[in-house]
């Protein structure tokens, strides 16, 4: 029955008392107010159900906000006052996300459902965290990407990228773990030979020599199983594996096995940097095996082909030592002098270790010649050493040895000149000029040699006086 009919029927009945009329009038006004509210709500497009329980209204508005889409959750609120209050408590204030760090933005995005997109999502999050320096969070993201239920091929690029990141951070053990997992899950991948080569180098640098050699041989086996159209692209990779095998045997101390591999590599078509490395290491191994003739020949050939190589100074040093062992001392002195006369250009590759090999070669050969009685040969090298640098730490020890050589050659005047160069007034130490203890010791020894020579000279003069015949008596 319509509320309007009920309202009219109540008003038509006779009323006996004032109290009853007042109550009925109040009831009628309440019903009329409800009808008006319902009509207004329907006109505004809102639900017509009216809840007198404020708690229930709050719960329903909260449920509506929770189920709303992201777009709806940021739209202007049109619900009741209780839903407005709930939205104000739950939604972040305007501009609250603008101050967040860039690497936190992926956390605000929904996680994809597609496995490939999920891997890309976690990979991007891990990369951003790594670049920002948050290694722990980056590894968590990478682990989440690797744990996605997808084909192993879908994770290959991620694993290779992780290995590169760990290698750049010098975390070799983690790089090894990732590359081993790659080899295990992608055995037929075209990147496997390169992965095995990297594993071999990592194992060798970690001290696991046997594991390194095993991985290098796996590189050779994997390249043999390639299709004919892929062979040329992996030919150089195979040669690099052989080179690393030879290098590893050499580091292990197995010079005979290493020389065998280097000899095989010399006849192959190598890149120029690899050829330099093979020729030098082969000659170096001949020296280590005390094959003096073969070592001298190979070292001479290397210096002739690559005079500006970073290994050229060491090659000259080894050749001079081999020539000395072969008792070809004149040639050894010439080789040392050629090294000492080499221009020290810091910008060139040869300049990086040239000074070290100059000093080592000159001192070792000159000292050896001096002890063996070849004073002339030693003097030539010491003089070349003294001319090679103006640095007192370099020059004074050489000049002191020059003085000793002149003494051995019975040329005391020349020896005095050498010692006085060291103790001259401009080289005297004072409050403004203090030399290291090693140079102070050289000066002390030079002073002592000068005093000794002065005493010898004075003693010889006195001997001359005593040896003169006394005049005849008249």
Residues 352 and 369 in one domain: yes
Question: Can you give the pLDDT at residue 83?
Answer: 42
Residues 381 and 429 in one domain: no
Categorize the per-residue pLDDT at 18 as very low, low, confident or very high, splitting at 50, 70 and 90: very low
Looking at per-residue confidence, does 469 or 115 come out higher?
Answer: 115
The alpha helices in 308-391, defined as continuous H runs, are 312-325, 329-340, 354-371, 375-388
Residues 345 and 291 in one domain: yes
From 349, 368, 389, give the residue that closes a domain. Answer: 389
Nearest to 427 by CA among 417, 415, 435: 435
How far does Cα 133 stand from its chain's mean position? 15
Q: How far apart are CA 471 and CA 119, in angstroms?
A: 116
Q: Is the pLDDT of residue 403 over 90?
A: yes
Q: What angle do CA 370, 375, 378 make, to 5 degrees?
A: 65
From 372, 389, 406, give the residue that closes a domain. Answer: 389
Establish if 68 belongs to a structural domain.
no
Neighbours of 234 (CB within 10 A): 18
Query: In this predicted model, what pLDDT tens digit does every residue of 25-70 receive, in sequence order?
Result: 656 566 555 654 455 445 444 444 434 343 433 343 333 333 333 3
Q: Is the pLDDT of residue 214 over 90?
A: yes
Question: Can you give the pLDDT at residue 474?
Answer: 42
Looking at per-residue confidence, does 216 or 457 come out higher?
Answer: 216
Tokens 């590169």 found at: 164
Averaged pLDDT, 105-132: 80
Question: Can you give the pLDDT at residue 264?
Answer: 87
Residue 417 half-sphere exposure toward CB, CA atoms < 13 A = 7
Establish if 313 belongs to a structural domain.
yes
Establish if 422 belongs to a structural domain.
yes
Residues 277 and 382 in one domain: yes
Question: Can you give the pLDDT at residue 389?
Answer: 84
Question: Can you give the pLDDT at residue 282?
Answer: 92
Nearest to 423 by CA among 445, 408, 405, 398: 445
Residues 355 and 373 in one domain: yes
Helices and strands: H and E segment counts in the chain: 24, 0
Establish if 183 belongs to a structural domain.
no
Query: In this predicted model, what pLDDT tens digit does every residue of 134-159 receive, in sequence order?
Result: 999 999 999 999 999 988 889 999 99
Nearest to 317 by CA among 355, 349, 343: 355
Q: Which domain holds residue 11?
A: 1-43
Q: How far apart are CA 22 and CA 106, in angstroms?
A: 67
Q: Is the pLDDT of residue 278 over 60?
A: yes
Residues 54-63 as b or e (16 or more Cβ within 10 Å = b): eeebbebbbe
Looking at per-residue confidence, does 466 or 129 come out higher?
Answer: 129
The pLDDT mean for the chain works out to 76
Q: How far apart are CA 25 and CA 33, in angstroms?
A: 12
State percent of the chain over pLDDT 90.
36
Establish if 129 belongs to a structural domain.
no
Residues 312 and 385 in one domain: yes
Helix (H, G, I), strand (E, B) or coil at 328: coil
Averaged pLDDT, 208-228: 83
Establish if 25 belongs to a structural domain.
yes
Residues 320 and 375 in one domain: yes
Establish if 296 belongs to a structural domain.
yes
Number of domains in the chain: 3
Q: Is the pLDDT of residue 133 over 80?
A: yes
From 358, 389, 420, give the residue that closes a domain. Answer: 389
Residues 442 and 459 in one domain: yes
Residues 291 and 375 in one domain: yes
Establish if 461 belongs to a structural domain.
yes
Categorize the per-residue pLDDT at 87 as very low, low, confident or very high, splitting at 50, 70 and 90: very low
CATH number at residue 341: 1.25.40.10
Whole-prediction pTM value? 0.61
Q: Is the pLDDT of residue 337 over 80?
A: yes
Residues 335 and 279 in one domain: yes
Question: Can you give the pLDDT at residue 306?
Answer: 92
Residues 285 and 353 in one domain: yes
Q: What angle do CA 63, 66, 69 make, to 5 degrees?
A: 130
Question: Can you give the pLDDT at residue 312?
Answer: 92
Q: What is the CA radius of gyration of the chain?
A: 47
**Long-range pairs, 402-408, Cβ under 8 A, ≥24:** 403/446, 403/449, 404/370, 404/449, 405/370, 405/375, 405/378, 405/379, 406/379, 407/449, 407/453, 408/370, 408/375
Residues 310 and 371 in one domain: yes
State percent of the chain over pLDDT 70.
66
Q: Is the pLDDT of residue 179 over 90?
A: yes
What angle, 0 to 180 degrees and rounded to 10, lies between the N-to-C axes of helices 392-408 and 375-388? 160
């Amino acid at each position: 029955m319509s509320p309007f009919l009920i309202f009219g029927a109540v008003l038509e009945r006779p009323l006996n008392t004032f109290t009853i009329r007042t109550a009925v009038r109040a009831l009628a006004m309440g019903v009329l107010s409800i009808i008006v509210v319902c009509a207004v709500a329907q006109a505004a497009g809102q639900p017509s159900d009216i809840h007198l329980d404020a708690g229930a209204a709050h719960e329903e508005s909260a449920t509506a906000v929770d189920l709303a889409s992201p777009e709806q959750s940021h739209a202007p609120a049109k619900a009741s006052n209780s839903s407005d209050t709930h939205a104000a408590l739950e939604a972040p204030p305007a501009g609250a996300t603008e101050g967040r760090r860039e690497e936190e933005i992926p956390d605000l995005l929904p996680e994809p459902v597609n496995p490939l997109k999920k891997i890309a999502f976690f990979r991007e999050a891990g990369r951003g965290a790594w670049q920002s320096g948050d290694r722990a969070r980056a590894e968590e993201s990478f682990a989440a990407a690797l744990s996605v239920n997808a084909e192993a091929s879908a994770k290959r690029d991620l694993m290779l990228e992780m290995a590169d990141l760990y290698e750049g951070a010098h975390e070799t053990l983690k790089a090894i773990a990732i590359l081993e997992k790659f080899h295990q899950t992608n055995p037929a991948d075209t990147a496997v030979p390169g992965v095995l080569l990297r594993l071999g180098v990592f194992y060798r640098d970690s001290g696991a020599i046997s594991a390194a050699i095993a991985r290098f041989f796996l590189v050779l086996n994997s390249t043999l199983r390639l299709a004919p159209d892929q062979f040329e692209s992996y030919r150089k990779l195979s040669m690099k594996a052989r080179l690393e095998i030879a290098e590893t045997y050499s580091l292990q101390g197995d010079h005979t096995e290493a020389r065998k591999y280097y000899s095989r590599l010399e006849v192959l078509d190598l890149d120029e940097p690899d050829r330099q490395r093979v020729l030098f290491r082969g000659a170096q191994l001949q020296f280590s095996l005390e094959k003096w003739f073969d070592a001298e020949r190979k070292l001479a050939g290397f210096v002739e082909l690559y005079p500006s190589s970073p290994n050229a100074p060491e090659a000259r040093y080894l050749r001079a030592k081999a020539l000395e062992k072969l008792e070809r001392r004149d040639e050894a002195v010439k080789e040392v002098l050629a090294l000492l006369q080499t221009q020290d250009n810091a910008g060139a590759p040869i300049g990086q270790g040239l000074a070290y090999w100059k000093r080592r070669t000159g001192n070792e050969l000159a000292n050896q010649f001096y002890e063996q009685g070849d004073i002339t040969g030693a003097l030539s090298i010491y003089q070349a050493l003294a001319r090679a640098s103006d640095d007192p730490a370099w020059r004074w020890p050489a000049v002191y040895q020059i003085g000793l050589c002149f003494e051995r050659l019975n040329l005391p005047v020349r020896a005095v000149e050498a010692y006085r160069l060291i103790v001259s007034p401009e080289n005297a130490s004072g409050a403004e000029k203090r030399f290291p203890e090693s140079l102070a010791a050289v000066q002390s020894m030079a002073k002592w040699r000068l005093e000794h020579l002065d005493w010898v000279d004075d003693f010889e003069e006195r001997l001359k006086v005593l040896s003169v015949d006394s005049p005849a008596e008249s």
